Amino acid sequence: MEDLEKLRFNIRHSAAHIMAEAVMNIFPGTKIGIGPPTSDGFYYDFDCPKQLSKDDFKDIEREMKKIIKSKRKFTGEVVSRDDAIKRFYGQEYKLEIIKGIPKNEKLTIWSHESWEDICKGGHVDSTNKIKAFKLLDVAGAYWKGDEKNKMLQRVYGTAWESKEEQKKYLEKLELAAKRDHRKLGVSLDLFYFDEFSPAMPFFLPKGTFIMNELTNYMREKYKKYGYQEVITPQIFSSKLWDLSGHSSHFQENMFFTENDENKMGIKPMNCPSHYLLFRSRLHSYKDLPIRYADFGRLHRNERSGVSHGLTRVKSFSQDDSHIFCTKDQIEAEILSFLNLLQEVYEDFGFEKPTFYLSLRPENRTGNDDMWDHSESVMKSILEKSGMEFSIQDGEGAFYGPKIDITVPDALEREWQLGTVQLDFFASEKFGLNYINKDGDKENVVLIHRAIFGSLERFFGILIEHFGGSFPFWLSPDQFSLIPVSENHFEHCKNIENKLVSKGLRGKADLSNDRFNNKIRKAQQMKIPLMIIIGDKEVENNSLTIRLRNGKNLNDIKNESLIQVFEENSKINNDDGLKAVLEEI
RNA sequence: GCCCACAUAGCUCAGUGGUAGAGCACGUUCUUGGUAAGAACGAGGUCACCAGUUCAACUCUGGUUGUGGGCUCCA
């Protein structure tokens, strides 16, 4: 397995070199940036006199094929700095890379006879080991990833050890695209976007149902874990944002409005309003920890070009909560939170979230002692919880270290959902304190935390995770009653009334479509239960149920079905549902 | 914000310098049917918006807005 991974790495790395040669051959004067392998392919950055487009891919691919077929050997050599500078004369980006390599490190150049690159190595021995490749996309990318630098043209491609593997990969991409929540959002009538309110989702009744169900689900968890829900305003005087630091740090991401002479800011986060709530009353150490939860709507004026379906929007809500506690309570609070978080992710079937511990950034508040302490607290908590995590240096919030949890979407783009952040800054700034045992005022420790992150984003990821086939309890329509002929309309209507009166969601399909088409429509809407009613069912007072996976359950009694639903309001998947129904 | 691409009916998409088409969906009628599309007819579009070129622009040019793929930033 490791060998295969290495082979693929080498193939893709080599393909990047070959693509760079091809581009330079076709478009003389091209300057090259960097060209690494990625998890499924490779890219190379070019400063090319021609504006590249997908129309150029054919030519580039043809040139690459020529190079691959000529079976050129990859070889590496250690070179002196002067030699390297000479050999990359005119290639300003390469020269910058050479300059950036520490003096005590060896410089290596890898060549495949007709072309060479400054490169650490990791190649196939001959170009013809690349059995399949395809260029996929071209996009802009800043040199060295810095937006102050020139924008280069990045060409993306994929490469494989066999044609079959590449075909499988391309098919996987197609399947993933079908699960894209933006497509399913339209076809399942969940939400839509309108030019009149860019990047702010409108939820249709079905989408609204699911959003509310998610909120209710979280409210139940909150009861169990001792959170108290609060409601706070939408718009605040700019003075609050000056105090919180948002005016200086977050202003370009905020919406503002005027009221008479007063400048008002629409909240992009709940934190400051929770601080105000907390300090509006006197607190004893006996009251702590206090956990305020808030599903309030937030607005962030994102830079254009960053919005993305439901996963990056300008108007959203969070399962946001702020925990006010003492220093001694930090560990227990965070452990309890991580416990809750895993419970939630398990309920939704997210088996492989990734945990990141983000440590002190360059721009930060507080002294090093405080950071040393809080970082080691976070680390030991993670270690205690037994979770695997990776460390991201410099990615922490300016007020404290944090743990971020990400989950991938259908196209394997990682999205951050949950987060837990320690904050030693807010309590000082806002005077958030409590009366300790000695009767003295002491600052609280503040913990910011969320599990879904944004409900909108979570919903989007969830749509893709389930491919639109929501678990029974989350399905906006749980059943569709399908009469075999018009003779069964009446009977269907009766059963619909019974099921609906028991709190189930769905209706009888009394349209004048044919039976087959009714099944097709229910199937397309991914309704969990298609209940078929014909002569047989009317006669036996029973139901035939078709599940959306195509499986059939015969001769189910009406009354027992209703009873089963009542006893199993949360059935998480089709298999569980089937098992339950089969017991009838 | 930056680079590139795209914008035609509710949805998915054809299309041409001489003011528009298909399939699905929708409506009406016919059809009385057993597990993913029965049939006929009908309704529908300032071809995103604003300018320019032209006798004539949905089509060419420029701008604006929005969307998509990335970069940067972030829940």
* pLDDT per position as a tens digit, A549-578: 888 888 888 777 777 776 665 665 566 666
C-beta of residue A498 within 8 angstroms of C-beta of residue A562:
yes
Does residue A411 lie within 7 Å of nucleic acid chain B, judged by its CB?
A: yes
Q: What is the C-alpha radius of gyration for chain A, rounded to an integer number of angstroms? A: 29
Name residue A293's beta-bridge partners: A229, A321
- Judged on CB neighbours under 10 Å (0-12, 13-18, 19+), A385 is middle
Does residue A517 lie within 7 Å of nucleic acid chain B, judged by its CB?
A: yes
Quick one: which of A341, A336, A333, A403 has its CA closest to A375?
A403
A143: left (phi over 0), alpha (psi -120 to 50) or beta: beta
Which backbone phi and psi does A48 adopt, to 5 degrees? -110, 135
C-beta of residue A438 within 8 angstroms of C-beta of residue A390:
no
Give, as one character, the DSSP assignment of residue A39: S
Q: Residue A318 catalytic?
A: yes
Count helices and strands in chain A by DSSP H and E runs: 19, 29
Contacts of A252 (CB under 8 A, 6+ apart): A301, A303
Cβ atoms within 10 Å of A261's Cβ, excluding its own: 5
The one-letter code for the residue type at A349 is G
**CA atoms of A318 and A215, how far apart (whole Å):** 9
Instruction: For domain A2-166, give the fold.
Output: Threonyl-tRNA Synthetase; Chain A, domain 2 (3.30.980)
pLDDT at A536: 92
Q: Residue A402 catalytic?
A: yes
In this complex, the nucleotide whose C1' atom is nearest to the CA atom of residue A318 is B75
pLDDT at A408: 82
In this complex, the nucleotide whose C1' atom is nearest to the CA atom of residue A512 is B31
Does residue A259 lie within 7 Å of nucleic acid chain B, judged by its CB?
A: no
C-beta of residue A45 within 8 angstroms of C-beta of residue A152:
yes
Does residue A526 lie within 7 Å of nucleic acid chain B, judged by its CB?
A: no
pLDDT at A103: 86
**CA atoms of A425 and A417, how far apart (whole Å):** 24
In CATH terms, the superfamily for domain A185-232+267-463 is Bira Bifunctional Protein; Domain 2 (3.30.930.10)
pLDDT at A262: 87
pLDDT at A2: 76
Q: Where on strand B do bases come within 7 A of a protein Cβ?
A: 1-5, 11-12, 25-26, 29-38, 65-75
In this complex, the nucleotide whose C1' atom is nearest to the CA atom of residue A526 is B36
Pick out residues 366-405 of chain A having their CB under 7 A from any atom of nucleic acid strand B: 404
Query: What residue ranges of chain A are covered by domains with CATH 3.30.980.10?
Result: 2-166
Q: Residue A320 catalytic?
A: yes
Which regions in chain A score pLDDT beneath 70?
1, 566-584
pLDDT at A1: 53
Look up the ipTM and state it: 0.94
Does residue A309 lie within 7 Å of nucleic acid chain B, judged by its CB?
A: yes
DSSP-derived 3-state class of residue A135: strand
Angle between helices A574-582 and A558-567 (to 10 degrees): 130
Name residue A402's beta-bridge partners: A358, A421
C-beta of residue A218 within 8 angstroms of C-beta of residue A452:
yes
Give the CA dihedral A531, A532, A533, A535, nearest 10 degrees: -150
pLDDT at A389: 92
Q: Which residue has the tokens 């950036």?
A: A100
| Å: A193 CA to B51 C1' | 28
Query: What residue ranges of chain A are covered by domains with CATH 3.40.50.800?
Result: 472-582
Pick out residues 160-199 of chain A having their CB under 7 A from any atom of nucleic acid strand B: 182-183, 186-187, 193, 195, 198-199
CATH architecture for residues A472-582: 3-Layer(aba) Sandwich (3.40)
Q: Residue A119 catalytic?
A: no
Consecutive H or E run containing A239: helix A238-244
- Cα-based distances in Å from A498 to A483, A491, A527, A558, A582: 16, 11, 18, 9, 21
Q: Residue A271 catalytic?
A: yes
- Cα-based distances in Å from A381 to A138, A172, A377, A385, A566: 43, 38, 6, 6, 41
| Å: A154 CA to B71 C1' | 9
The one-letter code for the residue type at A365 is T
The one-letter code for the residue type at A546 is R
C-beta of residue A242 within 8 angstroms of C-beta of residue A256:
no
Q: Residue A437 catalytic?
A: no
**CA atoms of A47 and A53, how far apart (whole Å):** 13
**CA atoms of A548 and A353, how far apart (whole Å):** 28
pLDDT at A560: 75
Cβ atoms within 10 Å of A286's Cβ, excluding its own: 8
| Å: A313 CA to B47 C1' | 29
A35: number of CA atoms within 13 Å, CB side? 35
**CA atoms of A145 and A152, how far apart (whole Å):** 10
Query: What residue ranges of chain A are covered by domains with CATH 3.30.930.10?
Result: 185-232+267-463
